[in-house]
Amino acid sequence: MTAKLTLTFDEETLRLSKRFAKAGGLRLSAIVESFPKSITHQNTPDDDVSPRVK
């Protein structure tokens, strides 16, 4: 199940994050989602995330 979340970033951070995601062929939402998973140890083998995100 997925849920929608609104986040606020300063414009420069958002611009650079979008550029990073695009360059890596990633979705920005996947990058953002990987952080809480990593700090709460919710990663499973099916949740493989690019090492660039980790």
Model pLDDT for residues 2-28, shown as the tens digit of each residue: 899 999 999 999 999 999 999 999 999
Domain ranges of the chain: 13-47
Q: Which H or E element spans position 16?
A: helix 11-23
CA distance 38 to 51: 12
pLDDT over threshold 70, residue 31: yes
Neighbour count for residue 37 (Cβ, 10 Å):
13
Give the Cα separation of 8 and 19 in Å (integer): 17
- What pLDDT does 47 receive? 57
Q: Average pLDDT for residues 18-43, to the nearest whole number?
A: 90
Residue 32's pLDDT is: 93
Residue of higher predicted confidence among 8 and 47:
8
Average predicted confidence (pLDDT) for the chain: 86
